[in-house]
Homo-oligomer: A and B are copies of this chain.
Amino acid sequence: MSASRFTYLGPEGTFTEAALRTLPEAATRELVPMVSVPAVLDSVRSGEAAGALVPIENSVEGGVTATLDELALGAPLMIYREVLLPIAFALLVRPGTRLADIKTVTGHPVAQPQVRRWLAAHLPDAVWESSASNADGARQVQEGRVDGAFAGEFAASVYGLEPLVSDIHDAENAETRFVLVGRPARPAAPTGADKTSVVIWLGDDHPGALMELLQEYAVRGVNLLRIESRPTGEGIGRYCFSVDCEGHITDRRVGEALMGLKRVCPRVRFLGSYPRAGLSPADVQQLRPGTSDADFTEASDWLTRSLDGRA
């Protein structure tokens, strides 16, 4: 049944699967790997799957452009959850392999910059060959075509390998952010520690257009968490912006900022309001004075009284 199926960027044994399994709502689902981000997202659009998990951002490699562009330009989808997963690689080998035996290593191209320094220090002569995914690399080791694969430690058992070295990551705090995507519907209720994602197209090329966009947020005291420019496909110099801000679309300050963007920009796509991963309401930065829902209500009442001559 599609309603009980979640898809994810496969194959089995990837970090994406590991991230998906951290979600309680995934516990009772059928989890189906798919070969590409577009394939994953299309399975949701077509109704084959109720939801899908895809990576959207990596703290070393940056935005996952396939995901960003599908969400911006493809048939509409919405984000309902995010997952933050620390990224550490294990060097997976066939049982019995020693470090000195390793002549060739593999992994997904985005894994390479994250283990480059480790390789230079510990396996300076090993030859790197990219694989289609970290899990695919593990399979190549299983098949004896390569000596070692960088992948999540959890992939070892899937492919009958063992982790020779664990917890490899050149960068401190390497993390990947994944989003759980579904067909557009009513966003989840606010939790007090929420995030709202949109894609915004700038209008004409006038200088300062980006600043005007940011001011729609700033004047309502809404903090930005991420802004990423993406080409619109209409030529060099034409961009849209993928923007995450603090707060939920039902927060008055966020709603007013979004309406401001909608009026000022030729196109805005709402991508969802959802709980911020790893953040409880107590950790959220304090609101700027005058931007709470109560402040909005009070100001609205005052305007009504002013319109009646009773302010």
Contacts and interface: CB of A to CB of B under 8 A. Distances in A.
A144 interface: no
Query: What size tier do the contact residues of chain A reach?
Result: 35 or more
A210 B231 contact: no
A116 to B, nearest CB: 9
Number of copies: 4
Interface stretch (A3-11, A55-63, A94-102, A152-160): A55-63
B231 A61 contact: yes
Contacts of A227: 210, 229
Contacts of A228: 228-229
Contacts of A260: 219-220, 299
A263 B291 contact: yes
Given A215-B219, A306-B270, A310-B184, A263 B290 contact: yes
A104 to B, nearest CB: 16
A54 B186 CA distance: 45
Interface in A192-242: 207-208, 210-212, 214-216, 218-221, 223-231, 233-239
Contacts of A118: none
Interface in A238-267: 238-239, 249-250, 255-256, 258-260, 262-264
